[in-house]
Amino acid sequence: MKLSVLVPAYNEEAGLATILRRIAAVPVDKEIIVVNDCSSDRTGAILDGAVVGDRIPGLRVIHHRTNRGKGAAIRTALQAASGDAVIIQDADLEYDPQDYPALLAPILSGEAQVVYGVRNLDAQKLLFRLGNRALTWLTNLLYGVQLHDMETCYKVMTIDIARRLDIESNGFDLEPEITAKIVRLGYTIHEVPIAYEPREEKKLSPWRDGWPALRALLRYRAWRPAPRVASEMVG
């Protein structure tokens, strides 16, 4: 099974080279698709340097000419993906790519088609930890599921499911949108524990990004997928 690693990157010069090396070192068949979302720092230069001479095997870089947001970067990466499954990988160092094999295992065994990595949030700042737990609790209440970490970045699924989600969000409301739509499609979300080291400086704001996440959970309760055409159901 080939894994498409989708990496949205905006002003991530500090840890970008390190995370690319860590992804490349994971012993799974993969491609790495990084979308530079019009960064104003050295992110673009670092990515272009990583491509020269195939320093990072399987790396493809796409540059947005304007800053469009994380969700838009994921849409761009997903359009370019050619793998059998996809995972979202933030460009900082909070998540450990060495967890990929454990995340893929339930899919490879046929046990699941969607797998979430569950973080231990004890090291998070209190406000972020409470916000994450509140959104997960609300997701469980609204959608009748029993998730432990809805906001996790590590969401792994078959590429067919990923493309059926028709992602609309541009910001951090991407996470509840993906989760809501997966549930609405009728899939069970399998969970496995993962490593997690929260960084001190975060782009996410509990106040600025919390309300859009809440609205997304409410909005997508009524979402219905587009009908599948015959060509999509063949093979």
Q: Please count the other Cβ atoms lying within 10 Å of the Cβ belonging to residue 18.
A: 12
CA 152 → CA 103, 120, 234, distances in Å? 13, 10, 33
What is d(CA 39, CA 100) in angstroms, rounded to the nearest whole number?
27
Dihedral pair phi/psi, residue 170, rounded to 5°: -105, -25
Please name the residue that has the structure tokens 């949108």: 177
Q: Quote the DSSP letter at residue 15.
A: T
Q: What is the pLDDT along the chain (235 residues), one digit of tens a residue?
A: 999 999 999 999 999 999 999 999 999 999 999 999 999 999 999 999 876 545 788 999 999 999 999 999 999 999 999 999 999 999 989 999 999 999 999 999 999 999 999 999 998 888 889 989 999 999 999 999 999 999 999 999 999 999 999 999 998 899 999 999 999 999 999 999 999 999 766 555 555 667 888 999 999 999 998 887 654 554 4
Name the nearest CA neighbour of 229 among 164, 146, 155. 164
User: Residue 229: what residue type?
Assistant: V
Q: Rounded to two decimals, what is the model's pTM?
A: 0.91
Please tell me what DSSP assigns to residue 191. Answer: E
75-109 per-position pLDDT tens digit: 999 999 999 999 999 998 999 999 999 999 999 99
| β-sheet with 85-88: strand ranges across | 59-63, 30-36, 3-9, 85-88, 155-158, 114-118, 190-193
Beta pairing, strands 30-36 & 3-9: parallel
| Chosen CATH of 3-233 out of 3.90.550.10, 3.20.20.70, 3.40.640.10, 3.40.50.720 | 3.90.550.10
